[in-house]
Structure 1
Amino acid sequence: MSSNRGVAYIEPGVVEVQDIDYPTFELRDGPGVNPANVGRKVPHGAILKVVTSNICGSDQHMVRGRTTAPPNLILGHEITGEIVETGPDVEFHSVGDLVSVPFNISCGRCKNCKERKTGICLNVNPDRPGSAYGYVDMGGWVGGQSEYVLVPYADWNLLRFPDKDQAMEKILDLTMLSDIFPTGYHGAVTAGVGVGSTVYIAGAGPVGLAAAAGAQLLGAAVVIVGDLNKDRLAQARSFGCETVDVSLGDPKDQIEQLLGVPEVDCAVDAVGFEARGHGHGSSTEAPATVLNSLMDITAAGGALGIPGLYVTGDPGGVDEAAQKGSLSLDLGTGWAKSLAFTTGQCPVMKYNRELMMAILHDKVQIAKAVNATPISLDQAPESYREFDSGVARKYVIDPHGMVGARAS
């Protein structure tokens, strides 16, 4: 088997499906591949037939031209697949296994991996800690919005589903384990959500909705989701969240109407660096708005989970500082209120197994919460455009028709 196709970033606003190389157990040169990784042998890897690969809001940052992603970069870091070939060093996985792939690529051997900090592995990206499939400046590992993909360190990285038939019945839920469900859950955990908490989540995109579902799973008493998009706010209400329309102004007044006080115990930033102002300024990009707002509305001694993406290079930033990822934060407020902050990639492997068990035993319906919508590989370009317009959907690419066949 030698053919393969994948979704490639071409230029701002444009992606296309291309014929691409079938993966081998060696990292080859290509768009975005770090020169130091070219020729890297991967005997510890597995080649997967991709069952699902989701379109992520982080992908949209690249597709909008808000990063330094090169043309023809193959996208996709949210991958679920079936093993079709293993390298000679793979011991514990077999051809035919159905597996979830954490979006973090990690080696399992370095100091950070051994401390469960798999989002900042020291060995997979020559430029800096941390790596991911199909993402700018992340080492050049080819993305999984494709028919077939290579996964390195397979014994370490892959999460096998215990029953293949059961997993396929719940595949639209289980596909969320590669990124957005653990990422949203991580935001809630690091914000300190627990039984009886009141929590505000900024952003009703898929990660924000996943954070809301995660907060409910953790026992929050009230989960409030804020956004500008009325359809996405309606999606949040569909599974029991309260909502705040930030186009009407600062969320503090609306939170007080809901809770009787203008603050919450903890908060999650699921928006990131393309944040917009609140109220009449909601059409203007203001990248520090969400972080400063969350510091204002979080009670003293609380915490902020920040799974929203912030970058060090943004060609479309509103000013020179923002183009370097330097934002004007009201850190004095955060200091005065003794607020804790947690940023960075979610270490998916810290959470994916327990969240898998919650899905398999019907403790959470994450696909319903994020409105998972299967599409074919050829529908990906149009779905990117629709997602960018703000539709309340999480697009799930089904390159081999395995999800559609199951649903029919």
Structure 2
Amino acid sequence: MADQNKVVVYKGPGEVAVEPIDYPKLEVPQDVAEAMNYRSAAAPHAVILRVVSTNICGSDQHMVRGRTTAPVGQTLGHEITGEVVEAGDDVQFIKEGDICSVPFNIACGRCRNCKERKTGVCLNVNPARAGSAYGYVDMGGWQGGQANYVMVPFADFNLLKFPDRDQALEKILDLTMLSDIFPTGYHGAYTAQVTTGSTVYVAGAGPVGLAAAHSAQLLGASVVIVGDLNDDRLAQARSFGCETINVGEGGEITEQIAAITGIPEVDCAVDAVGFEASAKAGEEAPAVVLNQVQTITRAGGSLGIPGLYVTGDPGAADPEAQEGTLKIRFGLGWAKSHAFFTGQCPVMQYNRELMMSILYDKAQIAKAVNATVIPLEEAPQGYQDFDKGAAKKYVLNPNGYINA
């Protein structure tokens, strides 16, 4: 008899619950198989994982706030680390007992984009559009990983195996960040072309922003400035050596930047906020960060934009924003010859190298984002606290792998 399985489920705006769900099978979603012309829904290329750790993400929070088209009943969770407990007959190199990080991008490894390492826009796993993820709206109907067990398809391609089990469990709070926010933050800094001596502005002191700030430090930035409205989160950024500004106080952002760098601009910038941006507390302005980063980035600079922007936002204040049409000063960016880098992070471009940085103590990502462990049953409270602005990255511990 298969072990009991539970999963976090979206129940409507502001509400999640932990509910029973069937133990996973080595099968892909039927809709995906039919629409993408798979030979069958059977998945001998897949594994089943007993989840070691799975994290609450700001992208999940967008759904839970009712700011996407996610249906009631949507399972949640795309940041997954797990132990293989069952492997399909076509899985050649991943074995039962391996502990692995799961990139949040579901990728086939066979299509043109996957072969070009653009795994965030795989062409074979989501009938609605290029790109897919576990437990996310419009991403193909794959079960979420905030659960006891989850199925991972195309396992040989997707999974990143940790080289040593004991070492992995010892460093699990750092390694759990490899499924999404550490590569995503790094992607933002890397595509912004942060390098030795760069001055960097990171918009947003949530977990992805903090990961981007820590990544900028790893890449050699001379100064990393983090902007937010939340003083607790700004204090967390200062805890690992960042400069900070409260963008809702203290005057124009250019003036606040100049007070730190001596000039009202930076070499490069990262938008780790996305479409629920605010000009000040309680005043939503979805394009404000995109316009700020253009204003303060030097001519010829680059903008990394890992912050989430959507094509469907029923909670937006105006009809244009509801379909993802924003009023950005593109002319300013053009005049300054800015390079814009957007879209889902292709996790597999970065996760192995970042794993090595963790294993050899070069990266301290868990400390940077204030990793905080809670049981799976406390996920609803974790979502509430995170929504209130807690300066924490909540890590769910569904099967007791993580020591208290």
**Structure-2 residue corresponding to 1:344:** 343
SS in 2 for 1:356: helix
Deviations 1:332-377 (A, max 9, x none): 1000000000000000000000000000000010000000000100
**Structure-1 residue corresponding to 2:11:** 10
- Spell out the pairing of 1:393-404 with structure 2 (5 A cutoff): 393-404=392-403
**Structure-2 residue corresponding to 1:75:** 76
**Structure-1 residue corresponding to 2:51:** 50
SS in 2 for 1:302: strand
Aligned-partner Cα distance in 1 for 2:158–2:300: 36
Structure 1 residues 40 and 29, CA, compared in 2 at 3 Å: closer, same or farther? closer
1:218 aligns with 2:219: yes
Counterpart residue type for residue 389 of structure 2: G
Q: What is the CA-CA distance between 1:88 and the residue it aligns to?
A: 0.9
Deviations 1:70-102 (A, max 9, x none): 111110000000000001110001000000000
1:257 aligns with 2:259: yes
1:294 aligns with 2:293: yes
Q: Contact 2:29–2:141 at 8 Å: present in 1 too?
A: no
Counterpart residue type for residue 267 of structure 1: A
Q: What is the CA-CA distance between 1:250 and the residue it aligns to?
A: 3.1
**Structure-2 residue corresponding to 1:134:** 135
Counterpart residue type for residue 277 of structure 2: A
Counterpart residue type for residue 270 of structure 1: A
Q: Contact 1:34–1:139 at 8 Å: present in 2 too?
A: no
SS in 1 for 2:402: helix
Which deviates further from its counterpart, 19-28 or 149-158? 19-28
Q: Contact 2:33–2:41 at 8 Å: present in 1 too?
A: no
Structure 1 residues 202 and 393, CA, compared in 2 at 3 Å: closer, same or farther? same
Deviations 1:11-70 (A, max 9, x none): 00000000001100113569xx89737972211000000000000000000000000111
**Structure-1 residue corresponding to 2:22:** 21
Q: Contact 1:106–1:121 at 8 Å: present in 2 too?
A: yes
1:151 aligns with 2:145: no
- Spell out the pairing of 1:93-132 with structure 2 (5 A cutoff): 93-132=94-133
SS in 2 for 1:353: helix
Structure 1 residues 34 and 261, CA, compared in 2 at 3 Å: closer, same or farther? farther
**Structure-2 residue corresponding to 1:275:** 277
**Structure-1 residue corresponding to 2:210:** 209
**Structure-2 residue corresponding to 1:166:** 167
Aligned-partner Cα distance in 1 for 2:383–2:53: 16
Counterpart residue type for residue 223 of structure 1: V
Counterpart residue type for residue 396 of structure 2: I
Residue ranges of structure 2 left out of the alignment (5+ in a row):
none
Q: Contact 1:226–1:251 at 8 Å: present in 2 too?
A: no
Aligned-partner Cα distance in 1 for 2:255–2:41: 55
Deviations 1:318-343 (A, max 9, x none): 10000000000100100000000000
**Structure-1 residue corresponding to 2:186:** 185
Aligned-partner Cα distance in 2 for 1:358–1:27: 33
**Structure-2 residue corresponding to 1:64:** 65
Q: Number of aligned pairs?
A: 400
Q: Contact 1:45–1:154 at 8 Å: present in 2 too?
A: yes
Counterpart residue type for residue 308 of structure 2: L
Aligned-partner Cα distance in 1 for 2:218–2:124: 34
Aligned-partner Cα distance in 2 for 1:162–1:147: 23
Aligned-partner Cα distance in 1 for 2:162–2:253: 41
Q: Contact 2:3–2:23 at 8 Å: present in 1 too?
A: yes
Counterpart residue type for residue 259 of structure 1: T
Aligned-partner Cα distance in 2 for 1:116–1:123: 14
Normalised to the residue count of structure 1, the TM-score between the two structures is: 0.96
Deviations 1:99-124 (A, max 9, x none): 00000000111110111100000001
Q: What is the CA-CA distance between 1:3 and the residue it aligns to?
A: 2.1
SS in 2 for 1:25: coil
Aligned residues: CA RMSD: 1.4
SS in 2 for 1:321: helix
Aligned-partner Cα distance in 2 for 1:62–1:222: 34
Q: What is the CA-CA distance between 1:282 and the residue it aligns to?
A: 3.8
Aligned-partner Cα distance in 2 for 1:17–1:35: 30
Q: What is the CA-CA distance between 1:161 and the residue it aligns to?
A: 0.3
Aligned-partner Cα distance in 2 for 1:393–1:62: 19
Q: Contact 1:75–1:142 at 8 Å: present in 2 too?
A: yes
Deviations 1:360-405 (A, max 9, x none): 000010000000000100000001000000000000000011103x
Aligned-partner Cα distance in 2 for 1:27–1:73: 16
SS in 1 for 2:183: helix
SS in 2 for 1:354: helix
